[in-house]
Amino acid sequence: MSLKSICMEMGISPEVYDYCAAKEGELSERFREIDEIFEYNQIKVLRAMQEAKVSEACLVETTGYGYNDMGRDRLEEVYAKVFKTEDALVRSQIVCGTHALATALFGNTRPGDEIFSPVGLPYDTLLEVLGVREAKGSLKEYGVSFAYCDLLPDGSFDFDSIRKGINERTSLVTIQRSRGYSDRHTLSIAEINELIEFVRSVKPAVTIMVDNCYGEFIELTEPSEVGADMVVGSLIKNPGGGIAPVGGYIAGTKECVQNAAARLTAPGLYKELGPSLGNNRLLYQGLFMGPSVAASAEKGAVLLSAVYGGLGFECAPDTWAQRDDIIEAVTFHDPKLVMSFCRGVQRAASVDSFIRPEPTPTPGYAHDIIMAAGCFISGSSIELSADGPLREPYTVYFQGGLTYPHSKFGVMMSLQQLIDDGFISKERLSL
């Protein structure tokens, strides 16, 4: 049986199959570039594991306080080598990306300090951490204030506002690499480098944190190699390779990491405590798979932009533009299309493919969100997934796919659903 006929038996029409295959055919040069970066990052991770002398004894389970957890300590050494930092905190006690970022922020600020973002408001869930949206226990309640400036309308840095925004109280500058649910672009490492140099020229002693969520292994280097004091991310995104069951990381200077550890465990306990439980093998193996999974997801995102861009929908980033994360955004200007798209992606899931997603209120987010996620790891957005906050301009964010064929199947199913629901006519697919 041919691939096309299996797909047809699974509900993909020949028109959708052929259209997507034709678009894919135009992408070989783009995919070759992605594979080159994948190969480099794979060897980078391998080298870090070899240099840290990861051994079978690192993979065993620890419990309780977790004193002398060799596997945990070496994993942190591996992360520090991969991100080229002095130290790292990599724990399954860090629940998610927001928790990792909150731990880094609380640990590295003191009452009276101000946090500044030169790239606009941060990711939705951080608004409550900062206290931009009222929340019990926010940084604001502890006397840490927050200020920001937006990018200029053309997407470049607003250097005048950044200079004015950094004052004598500014102790930490936070830079979000990925666009998140905003309409700005994702920053490249070159842009982050330029921004960090400028911030340092205004205030040399400030701590610079980069929210690295979704960005790991998409370029040859990471933000910690261009001057960030710490990079922070989630293990159920790129660096967990779809295998880590939970966790977050903070890689950075010894001081930043210790400050974060004081917050995660307790002052005095720092990194010494925290059992890895049975997770070490999964965290090592996940990191090892990270570059491959990130590349697969990135190829799926590129295909999505070619498919929907080819039909005249607004896609960001553009198929041929440099990419810096695994997310592709398609703007529909209509909530019904966002919902139909997500239902299509859900139909392509490995787990829960028969479920019909509905928009719901989600903790940390101000609007109802519709999410398509049928995952081995609950909520894992390195697995094939799509979500959209139900607000103007009705943009859906597509990401993930542990393998490229799965991501591609998700692209096809989303388009099929839009056709089945009557939002796109088959005739538009004629080549």
Ligand X SMILES: *Cc1c(COP(=O)(O)O)cnc(C)c1O
If the CB atoms of residues 46 and 366 are measured against ligand X, the closer one turns out to be 366
If the CB atoms of residues 251 and 424 are measured against ligand X, the closer one turns out to be 251
State how far the Cα of 400 lies from the Cα of 246, in Å rounded to an integer.
16
If the CB atoms of residues 103 and 125 are measured against ligand X, the closer one turns out to be 125
If the CB atoms of residues 174 and 340 are measured against ligand X, the closer one turns out to be 174
Measured from the CB of residue 95, what is the shortest distance to ligand X in angstroms?
Answer: 8
Half-sphere exposure of 37 (CA within 13 A, CB side): 24
- Residue facing ligand X at closest CB distance: 97
Measured from the CB of residue 302, what is the shortest distance to ligand X in angstroms?
Answer: 19
Measured from the CB of residue 224, what is the shortest distance to ligand X in angstroms?
Answer: 16
Query: Tokens at residue 97, please?
Result: 């990306």
User: How are beta strands 230-234 and 248-252 bridged, if at all?
Assistant: antiparallel
Measured from the CB of residue 234, what is the shortest distance to ligand X in angstroms?
Answer: 4
Q: Is 389:365 a contact under the CB 8 Å cutoff?
A: yes
If the CB atoms of residues 98 and 296 are measured against ligand X, the closer one turns out to be 98
If the CB atoms of residues 92 and 98 are measured against ligand X, the closer one turns out to be 98
- Cis status of the peptide bond prior to 317, with omega within 30 of 0: yes
Query: Tokens at residue 111, please?
Result: 């009452």
In 10 A of CB 428, how many CB atoms? 12
CA 393 to chain centre: 22
If the CB atoms of residues 97 and 310 are measured against ligand X, the closer one turns out to be 97
If the CB atoms of residues 146 and 214 are measured against ligand X, the closer one turns out to be 214
Measured from the CB of residue 118, what is the shortest distance to ligand X in angstroms?
Answer: 15
State how far the Cα of 395 lies from the Cα of 4, in Å rounded to an integer.
30
Residues 413, 419, 422, 425, Cα dihedral to 10°: 160
Measured from the CB of residue 236, what is the shortest distance to ligand X in angstroms?
Answer: 6
Please name the residue that has the structure tokens 């992360």: 79
State how far the Cα of 80 lies from the Cα of 42, in Å rounded to an integer.
16
Say which amino acid occupies 360: T
Measured from the CB of residue 396, what is the shortest distance to ligand X in angstroms?
Answer: 15
Is 310 in a helix, a strand, or coil?
A: helix
Measured from the CB of residue 26, what is the shortest distance to ligand X in angstroms?
Answer: 28
Half-sphere exposure of 326 (CA within 13 A, CB side): 36
Measured from the CB of residue 123, what is the shortest distance to ligand X in angstroms?
Answer: 4
If the CB atoms of residues 313 and 397 are measured against ligand X, the closer one turns out to be 397
Q: For the chain, what percentages of helix, strand and coil (3-state, to nearest 5) are there? A: 45, 15, 40
User: How are beta strands 145-148 and 114-117 bridged, if at all?
Assistant: parallel
DSSP state of 360: B
State how far the Cα of 186 lies from the Cα of 93, in Å rounded to an integer.
28
Measured from the CB of residue 237, what is the shortest distance to ligand X in angstroms?
Answer: 6
State how far the Cα of 253 lies from the Cα of 259, in Å rounded to an integer.
10
State how far the Cα of 427 lies from the Cα of 16, in Å rounded to an integer.
10
Q: Which residues bind ligand X (CB under 6 A)?
A: 96-98, 123, 125, 176, 178, 180, 211, 213-214, 234
If the CB atoms of residues 98 and 305 are measured against ligand X, the closer one turns out to be 98
